[in-house]
Amino acid sequence: MMEADYIIVGAGSAGCAMAYRLAEAGKSVLVIEHGGTDAGPFIQMPGALSYPMNMKRYDWGYMTEPEPHLGNRRLVCPRGKVIGGSSSINGMVYVRGHAHDFDHWRDQGAAGWGYADVLPYFKRMENWHDGGHGGDSGWRGTEGPLHVSRGKRDNPLVRAFVEAGVQAGYPETQDYNGHQQEGFGAFEMTVWRGQRWSAANAYLRPALRRGNCDLIRGLVSRVVIEEGRAVGVEMIRKGQLEVVRANREVILAASSINSPKLLMLSGVGPGAHLAEHGIGVIADRPDVGRNLQDHLELYIQMAASQPVSLYKYWNLMGKGWVGLQWLLSRTGPGASNQFESCGFIRSRAGVDYPDIQFHFLPIAVRYDGKAAAEGHGFQAHVGPMRSESRGAVTLRSADPGDDPVIRFNYMSAESDWVDFRQCIRLTREIFAQEAFAPYIRHEIQPGAAVQSDDELDDFIRAHAESAYHPCGTCRMGRADDPRAVVDPEGRVIGVERLRVADSSIFPRITNGNLNAPSIMVGEKIADHVLGRAPMPPENSEPWLHPDWQHAQR
């Protein structure tokens, strides 16, 4: 029978970071991952990012249930089923989140997770390259395993987006991951020397070289819990059921979809729901699977009046040339995720920190890789950061091979509609600035005729897409909080020697993309697992607009 000090379920963003830190400390670690290798250009080439998240080989292929407020559409919910997890199929965008996100976690009962507490872990994990663009070096780390870089930003549209933001009255920020998130500036990505720098490349491969860390492929079907204590996991490997023993702890890092599913299959969750499926209740935790959150976004697309976009590569010859250039030298358009400019703004006066995010892309294209029929163009992905809507992940059956039931309940709060209309109108205002005058032909979508609240709502209902940031389903809080699933050290309340360490423990979704805070969770909980004192807090004060109560910009 296989055994290790620590079993980590899931070789994703947090799981890889934990494996690295636990192995570094001399512990024996076994990582179990259902997916296969991340080798090959579709994953490793940043410019090919639209491929892996649409390939069954690398993705769990989850779909939501029909979403009642989005015309009963079923939305895709990609999760990485591959070494590196979702860090191997994501857009490689690197956003820590705003300082106040983490202060909110702390105030909601996650003691020790305020911004002062997590900043040292962000710095520990980073190997930051500013690319000569400037930035806040005192707020950043330069010796960690995770390379973070900036694109070349040589496309004129990329620079025009930041100029237009400034012309519209917003600040320019030199480093949105540093002192000042609010404003427009250069985007950062987990790319190094033209290659995707996933959690597998940053953390897992170095851990596996140590000799005390192993990786095996298998589908974990449940945590084995004896007398209230996790002692191992049951997994299906090569068609056989096997048990792997954990001498110290089992750590679930299987995603905000699969971690709650595994807890419920193991008898930890809402008692009545487990009983429906014939699962014996070990710990009745009513909020396992609840508190599901995500970011929705819209693509505001413009047709270009000049052939300056990436559309020139959107044909067989162009893609072949980009691929060849990347394979030979790790350079060219394939060496960037092409998200090279961004913006974080506040939707209205009285909002203290940004609640809208922009990803700018110098081509009009969908996430599934289908380009706009209009040819040359560009787009801004825009959406509200702090939706009040909440959903849930529940069991479809007691069969571990069945997909869970995923209901985000998108747009169920009236405030979401107000925020999204504002997102569209503020984006149009940015595209109307002088910086874009040489490049704009007309608006592709929503289209200039779509103006009234009702017309905008119809567009939102038909076209809002997930930004693929699910989180919150194993909420972290005080150990005596009946709605919490894990305590502030990631320990599952009601079961000994069992932890969760991934985006499912977020009490509330952070501002921006979730890869960076997910890795940070792995880094920080590794210290808790090892019984180490947390890194000393750093009381760096973030920038807030001096007149945020009365001014939107």
Q: What one-character DSSP code corresponds to residue 46?
A: G
Q: Is 224 labeled as ligand-binding?
A: no
Tell me the C-alpha distance between 155 and 363, whole Å: 11
Length in residues, the chain: 553
Domain residue extents for the chain: 1-68+76-145+189-288+471-535, 152-186+296-384+412-463
Instruction: Give every residue of the chain whose pLDDT is below 70, as ranges.
Output: 131-134, 367, 369
Name the amino acid, one letter, at 221. S
Closest CA to 463 of 538, 366, 356: 366
Total-model pTM: 0.97
Name the amino acid, one letter, at 134. G
Q: Is 535 labeled as ligand-binding?
A: no
Q: How far is CA 344 from CA 97, 115, 383, 453, 497, in A?
A: 11, 18, 10, 23, 40
1-68+76-145+189-288+471-535 maps to CATH 3.50.50.60: yes
Tell me the C-alpha distance between 319 and 322, whole Å: 5
Name the amino acid, one letter, at 20. Y
Q: What one-character DSSP code corresponds to residue 172?
A: B
pLDDT more than 90, % of the chain:
94
- The third-level CATH classification (topology) of the domain covering 152-186+296-384+412-463 is Cholesterol Oxidase; domain 2 (3.30.410)
C-alpha 117: how far from its chain's center? 20
Q: Is 278 labeled as ligand-binding?
A: no
Tell me the C-alpha distance between 280 and 271, whole Å: 8
Helix 515-529 and helix 115-125: axis angle, to 10°?
100
Q: Is 178 labeled as ligand-binding?
A: no
Q: To which residue do tokens 């792995």 refer?
A: 522
Tell me the C-alpha distance between 356 and 15, whole Å: 29
> What's the confidence (pLDDT) of residue 131?
64
Its sign, for the CA torsion 244, 245, 248, 252, is positive
Q: Is 82 labeled as ligand-binding?
A: yes
Tell me the C-alpha distance between 80 and 75, whole Å: 16
Tell me the C-alpha distance between 4 and 224, whole Å: 14
Tell me the C-alpha distance between 463 and 442, whole Å: 19
Q: How many CB atoms lie within 10 A of CB 56?
A: 8
> What's the confidence (pLDDT) of residue 347?
98
Selecting among 469, 528, 545, 550, the annotated active-site residue is 469
Q: Note if 469 is an active site residue.
A: yes
Closest CA to 357 of 340, 342, 341: 342
> What's the confidence (pLDDT) of residue 405?
98
> What's the confidence (pLDDT) of residue 512?
97
Q: Is 93 labeled as ligand-binding?
A: yes
Token pair, residue 232, equals 């191992």
Tell me the C-alpha distance between 199 and 493, whole Å: 28
